[in-house]
Structure 1
Amino acid sequence: MSSDKKPQMMKPLTAANKLGIYLPAAPEEFRNTPISRTQLDELRDNPPEWLIDLRRTGPFPREVVARKLGVSNTGLARAQVSDALTAEEINALLADPPEWLLRERESYAAVRAENARVEARKAEQRAATNRPAKNRG
């Protein structure tokens, strides 16, 4: 094994996604420098203060905002929420939810319930299909 192997590098956007942070809110050095897997692991294991603050207060990327609000990314788009939101803004929405948020949460819950029902049905069908095959011997 060669010890001078080049480390695998990733774009800052990829690293930000893996860290669950909003790239434009990260320090300039992070935004403009490719990151190795080793550096990413180090950021995960020993996050610097800026990363701790971003994870705590935001602004958060769309996927995180959607998860915290209990809606889909598409639901945010329908509501024309295009900017990243801070923890304070998310908490304000949750404390006094506007009509669009209530509607999107209900819709998202229905979609998740339907997906669970479909998966359960598929599992039943797989189980039923596998039973006779075992008995045929």
Structure 2
Amino acid sequence: MTSHQSTQTMKPATAAKKLGVYLDATPAEFREGVVSRDELKALQADPPEWLRELRRNGPHPRPVVAAKLGISISGLARGGVTEPLTTEQIEELKSAGPEWLQKERATQAEVRKEAVRLKEKRLKEQEKNAERGDQPRPPRS
């Protein structure tokens, strides 16, 4: 008995998310079909012009907009940004430096700082436990 391996495919929305692009801005043939894993790898390895253009100029999906602004996706919502933005719009927003954006950047910086502190604390605890020969504790939920 031979095993027949089928090609795994994904919805265009999933592929767009993995590529970091806004689905509605992709070409119709991309949105209307399915994308195989091999096609996704090919798009990542050698992006066509439409994909390079979308990545360069947008419109960008919320996770990309948030990353470019240095804030969280929740921070975007709190700032009233609900639509995809182009690179130009993101740069204008950065230049304008509205109060909400400054506040969200400060919040994000604190979140990152706290994450580093907690990671260092866990490492120190693991080192202490290793010195004493204790078994590591499972992480708390």
Question: If the length of structure 1 is used for normalisation, what is the TM-score?
Answer: 0.92
Number of the residue aligned with 2:29: 29
What is residue 131 of structure 2 aligned with on the other side?
131
Any unmatched runs of 5+ in structure 1?
none
Aligned length: 134
Query: Aligned partners of 2:37 and 2:67: how far apart in 1?
Result: 26
Q: How do 1:90-129 residues align onto structure 2 when only pairs under 5 Å count?
A: 90-129=90-129
Q: Matches of 1:38 and 1:112 in 2, distance apart?
A: 35
In the TM superposition, 1:48-67 aligns within 5 A as 48-67=48-67
> How far is the alpha carbon of 1:49 from its aligned partner?
0.9
Which residue of 2 is the match for residue 87 of structure 1?
87
Shift of 1:5: 2.5
Q: Deviations over 1:54-84 (max 9, x none)?
A: 0000011101100000000110011111001
Quote the offset at 1:119 in angstroms: 1.1
For the residue of structure 2 that corresponds to 1:21, the secondary structure is: coil
One-letter amino acid matched to 2:84:
A
Aligned mates of 1:119, 1:67 — CA distance in 2: 22
Distance change >3 Å, CA 2–CA 30, structure 1 → 2: farther
What RMSD in Å do the two structures reach over aligned CA positions? 1.6
- Mark the CA change 1:95 to 1:43 in structure 2 (over 3 Å): closer, same or farther: same
How far the C-alpha of 1:123 sits from its partner, in A, is 0.9
Deviation at 1:127, TM superposition (A): 0.9
TM-score by length of 2: 0.90
2: CA distance, partners of 1:41 / 1:33: 16
Paired residue secondary structure (1:30): helix
Aligned partner of residue 42 in structure 2, secondary structure: helix
Report the Cα offset of residue 120 of structure 1: 0.7
Q: Distance in 2 between matches of 1:123 and 1:31?
A: 45
- Where in structure 2 are there 5+ consecutive unaligned residues? 135-141
Q: Stretches of 4+ moved more than 2 A in 1? A: 1-5
Q: Name the SS for the 1:64 alignment partner.
A: helix
CA distance in 2, matches of 1:45, 1:3: 29
